[in-house]
Amino acid sequence: MSALVESWIVTGNDPDGDFPLNNLPYGVFSRKDERPRCCTIVGETIIDLAALEELGYFDLPQPGVFSQPSLNAFMALGSPAQTHVRDRLTDLLRVDNSLKLKDLPAHQKRVLFDVYSVRLHMPFAVSGFTDFYASKHHATNVGTMFRGAENALPPNWLHMPIGYNGRASTVVVSDTPVTRPKGQLKAQDADAPHFGASRRLDFELEMGAVVGASTAMGDSVSVAQAGDMIFGYVLLNDWSARDIQAWEYQPLGPFQGKAFATSIAPWVITRAALAPFRVAAPPRDVPLLPYLQESGPMGYDIELSVELKPRDSQVGTIICRSNTKHLCYSAAQQLAHHASSGCAMRVGDLLGSGTISGPERGAWGSLLELAWGGKEPITLDDGSKRTFLEDGDMLTLRGFAQGEGYRIGFGSCSGTVVPARE
């Protein structure tokens, strides 16, 4: 496994920091009333990619891609351009650099900014959002609750990535408040439903894959091709209204119980940064059809956590620690399956992994599991209890892949529940 690449931006050399020079994630930022534009980050320093491009540090086939308020145009340039930018940034920012940004204060003034002085935006324009169901532990837990242990997994789950088409319009960047949704609710002992605010609001700990290439309608792709199409990954919280979902989901699956909000982190972590952390999927009960088979490890070893902080509390509680290595289907398999029917994929498509749960209770990635359908409340560090989320609760997802003396961090993905609107 590779070691830390030291930078002359000293905060990037913190072994416990999210953003060493090995990482170089992509995002979008602005300062005061300036227009949003593309950036990366090392340590606690934002690097303005639009300014670097204007100063002539990159040689790209299409000018001005970093001056745009999303990463989509850059993603569409493909792997050669992305490799060029990553290599050039590494040369510019490493401690033994061969390029002279380190010695040009006038350029630094245009390019480098303290992360606490800027605003981070949605990193890309979401073309479409599809949510999957790739954790066997999560699928088994939920199936056991609703169908019993003997029928926990639906028969198709072992053969293909299960998913549904969600809403791109309500994918929002971290720190955007999440309004408690309203919808039809029906108690088990009621004769008819009523309309009201969800009382069983939940989070889902997920990893989002960002698609960086398009396919034509009617075309399909192999798993290997799908892997190359993925630009990078983001932390993702697919908020869920379990009571709305329970009444609506048969026969066509999730709808309003999922459509109201999906939060993502502001940083897209690239495949290049995560390459040292590849792992194989867990052992399978049955072999997959040839179009879904992988030629090698395509999952990742990424440590994940979820913190819940109640309103007015000074204490947050880590309620879940999980890992993406528990996912039984990789993002490449999900994308290959998505396109297998001839469904056209677009630059900016977002694929949610589905809830990432591990084998132990502390690794379960939703309150539905942690509180076992509301029957077993969890106790937070401030003494309060939760079965589902209350107004004012703030959820924060974090993740990192651990290297030798460094980590590839994902930043954080936060959202605070605000009351339903009248």
Q: What is the mean pLDDT of residues 303-331?
A: 97
Encode pLDDT of 382-402 as tens digits: 999 999 999 999 999 999 999
Query: What confidence tier does 326 reach under pLDDT thresholds 50, 70, 90?
Result: very high
Judged against a pLDDT cut of 80, whether residue 99 lies above it is answered with: no
Judged against a pLDDT cut of 90, whether residue 79 lies above it is answered with: yes
What is the pLDDT, as a whole number, of residue 100? Answer: 79
Q: What is the mean pLDDT of residues 111-125?
A: 98
Q: What is the mean pLDDT of residues 220-232?
A: 98
Report the amino acid identity of residue 205.
Answer: L
What is the pLDDT, as a whole number, of residue 146? Answer: 87
**Partners of 420 in the β-ladder:** none
- Residue 326 falls in the annotated catalytic set: no
Q: What is the mean pLDDT of residues 5-26?
A: 97
Residue 95: CB atoms within 10 Å? 14
Query: Mean pLDDT score of the chain, rounded to an integer?
Result: 96
Judged against a pLDDT cut of 70, whether residue 1 lies above it is answered with: no
| 87: its two tokens | 């290599």
Measuring CA to CA, how many Å separate 54 from each of 64, 127, 369? 8, 28, 50
Q: What is the mean pLDDT of residues 229-252?
A: 97
Encode pLDDT of 341-357 as tens digits: 999 999 999 999 999 99
Measuring CA to CA, how many Å separate 112 from each of 64, 248, 411? 19, 50, 19
CA 268 to chain centre: 8
What is the pLDDT, as a whole number, of residue 62? Answer: 95
Q: The pTM is what?
A: 0.97
Q: Which CATH number fits domain 10-120: 3.40.50.10490, 3.40.50.720, 3.40.50.620, 2.30.30.230?
A: 2.30.30.230
Alpha helices, DSSP H, located in 7-113: 49-54, 72-76, 79-93, 105-111
**Secondary structure E strands in 324-406:** 350-352, 378-379, 385-386, 394-402
Query: Rounded CA gap, 404 and 16, in Å?
Result: 11
- Ordered by start, the domain boundaries in the chain are 10-120, 129-418
Query: Rounded CA gap, 354 and 230, in Å?
Result: 17
What is the pLDDT, as a whole number, of residue 2? Answer: 79
Query: What confidence tier does 97 reach under pLDDT thresholds 50, 70, 90?
Result: confident
Dihedral-angle region of residue 100 (phi above 0 means left; psi in -120 to 50 means alpha; beta otherwise): alpha
Judged against a pLDDT cut of 80, whether residue 22 lies above it is answered with: yes
Q: State whether residue 269 is helix, strand or coil.
A: strand
Q: What is the mean pLDDT of residues 41-62?
A: 97
Catalytic residue among 84, 107, 138, 159: 138
Query: What confidence tier does 151 reach under pLDDT thresholds 50, 70, 90?
Result: confident
Alpha helices, DSSP H, located in 350-405: 367-370
| 275: its two tokens | 């390459």
Judged against a pLDDT cut of 90, whether residue 108 lies above it is answered with: yes
CATH class of 129-418: alpha beta
